[in-house]
Structure 1
Amino acid sequence: MTTESNFATLRQGLQLGCAALVLAAAGLAAPAWAQDTTSIKVLNWQPGGPEYWIALVEAFEAENPDITVELETVPFDRYPEVQGPYITTRSGPDVMQNNSGLELYDRRSAYIELPPETLAAGKNLITYAGGCLNFDTTQPCYGLPFGYQGNVMYYNKAVLTQAGLNAESPPTTWEEMDAACEAVKAIGKTCLAHGMTGVFPAYWNFPEIARNFLTEDDMRAVLAGDLPWTDPKMTSILEAMASIGERGWINSNSPSISMLPDGADIFASGNAAFASTIIADAVNWQAFGAALGDENVGAMRWPVLVADAPLANSFSGTESAVFGVSSWTNKQDAALKFVEFIAGTENGNLLTSLGGGIALNNNVDPSLIPESQALAQIQEIIKTPTLHAGILLSGQEADALARGWQEVTLGRLSVPDWAARMQVALEESPGKN
């Protein structure tokens, strides 16, 4: 027997259905309550900027009208402290962003292994190995990327000219960098805009010095935890990092500030000649061009420290951030669709045209690549890639690297003691033991 309550429910359903039909007849979209939709939360640090992310979400939702996306955007330097509690409580976002390499591997319990049909979305990517164990696509993969990433040093041509230097011929060796820094400091400017807090030293500075002392085999040994920090090659890297402060290249408050946004702001304000950052996503050629004028911004490799080092003139390249599906989500199908879209051609086109990124998708429309001298220089630099030593470090090592560099620069720690701390961090790294 049908109850009065059942009739009420039936009437409500008929009313909603009729309303949807009326809207359809009028050429209007049915409201959200008239459709079955799944809402997914995506934890991210918004690489490429707000405009790109607005366009990305709109394009994804247009292609998947049964899915809506809620973004939880966190500043890059605060990302681990926000993501950590989600992983501990096994709750929260359905999709999460992470850097490729050991940062992702250390947290892989928070992600599902991507199924073959999702990995097939990466078939048009130049590479997606940074989301897979041991950088091997035949092993479990936990995320797909969307762009290429790596390190360069930007320079402000106006500042170099003001300092009496050739703006079209920036320094290529540490000796030339020393001379350039003296000239820049003489006009009251900072030579190398810099910040030491957070993970930036591990990802943006350490790889550029490591290339002077390590071979690719050495780097793979770093990944495996088989090259101790007390090895002369590793201590040479730390000594060179320490010498940057001793040489007076950097701003005096470098130990107490973060590279993003503080250090980058010094460069973007026109108060520094150089800045060591990344090729894409944030604080890139596009952002600096907007702040300083495209005509004033150039991109170069870090100056070479060891002239005959086999990798000294290479590019530290890797996939940019990867996106994976959280292991606790109950919206796995919708979350996987978002990860597949991230790796697709449409998103590659958006990243290229709006996000200042270098897409990994082979099918991106080349006519969308913006005109910029700095970008053109970057396109040449990335033609000779090598492994990115920064993403081979565990979270414990990255933290010890940054803290040690701060203390060494402030004169509170010796390099041998820094190396000893790094070795302890290595031995405490679960991903390497």
Structure 2
Amino acid sequence: MLRRKIAGALAAGLAAATLLTACGGDAADGPVTLKVLTWEPGGTEYWAQVKSTFEASHPDIRLDMEAVPFDRYPEVQGPYITSQSGPDVMANNAGLELFDRRGAYEPLGERAAEINKDLVTYSGACEGFDTTKPCYGVPFSYQGNVLYYNKSVLTAAGLDPENPPTTWDEFSAACEAVKNSGKTCLALGLSGTFPAYWDFPEIARNYLTEDDIRGLLAGTLSWTDPKLVATLEKLAEITTSGWTNSNAPSITMLPDGADIFQRGDAAFAGTIISDAVNWEAFGKALGDDNLGVTRWPVINPDAPLAQKFSGIEGAVYGVTKWSEKKQAGLEFISWLAGKENGELWVRYGKGQPLNSTVDKALLPTSPSFLKIQEFVAQPTLHAGVMLSGPETDALARGWQQVTLGQLTVDKWAEQMQQALERSPTKRQGR
């Protein structure tokens, strides 16, 4: 039904912004081949199922998948965007990572409402997180941050594995106990984008209101504001207190930091609920009964966003402006948002689906998965995806330098403000 609606609307010739510009190549003899650039969130098996299932029901479209490791994705995608050539469909994370690259994508226009009608969405594919503004793609996974823990490591440190720390003071005491037992408290890698997406928002929620987070998005909240300086101070405390692995400044969280936790060498790991590494991967490595999941410890219990969940869509797939196969591209990304793919995502990707019509009987029964369902019931804005590319880079680099004693927190805040001023997206919106 959705396919017929899309094809009919396309044939009717809506506005150019709805991807219905002249697009040579869709009418060619034989199946249309769509080139898709992805980092394969959910894993290779899931994407093999996407390809075979979609092609079986769409014999007129073939998928040519280019899979790139996440840490190399920007360097592969960048030349395509610069040359305005290459893939017909590309992925980016929701939020400013996508908005920074919006010039590479066709806006969905009037199609956005229909495609997203069954999705639980934060509008992270739309400018300003506002569905009345241009939207540049389609998400299908539910994303956000939690703190995983290894019950065996906590037990060996003399801690209660069924009652993980809930406050910052309790976390500090737990880390000291874990260190004394010969293990790392928090597995961490500071190279790349993960500090911005996984750690920053969980500290920031103790200091920022939702209005502050929107100010972060708009570029109107200065990084020298006491709230953001306090956030940076607490991030610095994690590493300067010796709670993390000593090589944290020189490694990435994926795969290196996650591997430390999966090997059983760390008590905690702050990561995500879907996509690249999640409860399912950790459960396989450590045992489902040995894996715990909790919220990050609270610093300021009275903060309005304390004890809430940082929710956001996962990867967003959009049709490139240079594609000559826009109709086929729109059909593919619309299918990604649908029930059929949502159920593939649950079965093979073991992730959280955005599509609300997915059969609930398919959802996993893992204790960690069920605990995560409690957390996602109270979502708030995700501060990490409000950061532009320059800010994301400066956050990771500054945290490395602070950890190594090469930079003070005040200087780090100044570098973050300079990065904000370099952000083309935020300069345009101010």
Give me the TM-score of the superposition, normalised by structure 1. Answer: 0.91
2:415 equivalent to 1:421: yes
SS at match of 1:130: coil
2:69 equivalent to 1:53: no
**What is the Cα deviation at residue 325 of structure 1?**
0.4
The partner residue of 1:235 within 206, 229, 233 is 229
Give the corresponding residue for 2:356. Answer: 362
Give yes or no for contact 1:128–1:145 (8 Å, CA) kept in 2: no
SS at match of 1:129: coil
Residue deviations 1:288-332 (CA, integer Å, cap 9, x gap): 011111111111110011121111111111011110001101111
2:318 equivalent to 1:319: no
2:205 equivalent to 1:211: yes
2:87 equivalent to 1:120: no
**Quick check: 113-122 or 299-308, which moved more?**
113-122
The change in CA–CA distance for 1:36 and 1:119 in structure 2 (over 3 A counts) is farther
Counterpart-to-counterpart distance in 2, 1:118 and 1:53: 24
**What is the Cα deviation at residue 86 of structure 1?**
0.6
SS at match of 1:286: helix
SS at match of 2:395: helix
Give the corresponding residue for 1:305. Answer: 299
Counterpart-to-counterpart distance in 2, 1:127 and 1:308: 27
Give yes or no for contact 2:109–2:134 (8 Å, CA) kept in 1: no
Give yes or no for contact 2:148–2:294 (8 Å, CA) kept in 1: yes
Counterpart-to-counterpart distance in 1, 2:201 and 2:81: 28
Give the corresponding residue for 1:265. Answer: 259
**What is the Cα deviation at residue 76 of structure 1?**
1.0
Ranges in structure 1 where 5+ consecutive residues have no aligned partner: 1-34
SS at match of 2:186: strand
Alpha carbon RMSD of aligned pairs, Å? 1.0
2:75 equivalent to 1:44: no
Give the corresponding residue for 1:393. Answer: 387
Structure 1's consecutive aligned runs of 4 or more residues displaced over 4 angstroms after TM superposition are none
Residue deviations 1:400-429 (CA, integer Å, cap 9, x gap): 000000000000001111111111110111
**What is the Cα deviation at residue 117 of structure 1?**
3.5
Residue deviations 1:134-192 (CA, integer Å, cap 9, x gap): 11111111011001100001001111112111111000011111111111112211110
**What is the Cα deviation at residue 118 of structure 1?**
5.6
Counterpart-to-counterpart distance in 2, 1:323 and 1:182: 43
Matches within 5 A, 1:67-86: 67-86=61-80
The partner residue of 1:89 within 83, 90, 97 is 83
**Quick check: 180-189 or 83-92, which moved more?**
180-189
Identity of aligned residues (%): 62
Residue deviations 1:92-127 (CA, integer Å, cap 9, x gap): 111000001111111000000114236412111111
Counterpart-to-counterpart distance in 1, 2:58 and 2:96: 32
Structure number with greater Rg is: 1
SS at match of 1:294: coil
The change in CA–CA distance for 1:118 and 1:59 in structure 2 (over 3 A counts) is farther
Across the two proteins, how many residue pairs are aligned to each other? 399
Give the corresponding residue for 1:342. Answer: 336
Residue deviations 1:350-374 (CA, integer Å, cap 9, x gap): 1111111111111000000011011
2:196 equivalent to 1:202: yes
**Quick check: 335-344 or 115-124, which moved more?**
115-124
Letter in 1 for 2:315: A
Residue deviations 1:20-66 (CA, integer Å, cap 9, x gap): xxxxxxxxxxxxxxx71111111111111111111111111011111
SS at match of 2:274: coil
2:108 equivalent to 1:104: no
Counterpart-to-counterpart distance in 2, 1:428 and 1:44: 27
Give me the TM-score of the superposition, normalised by structure 2. Answer: 0.91
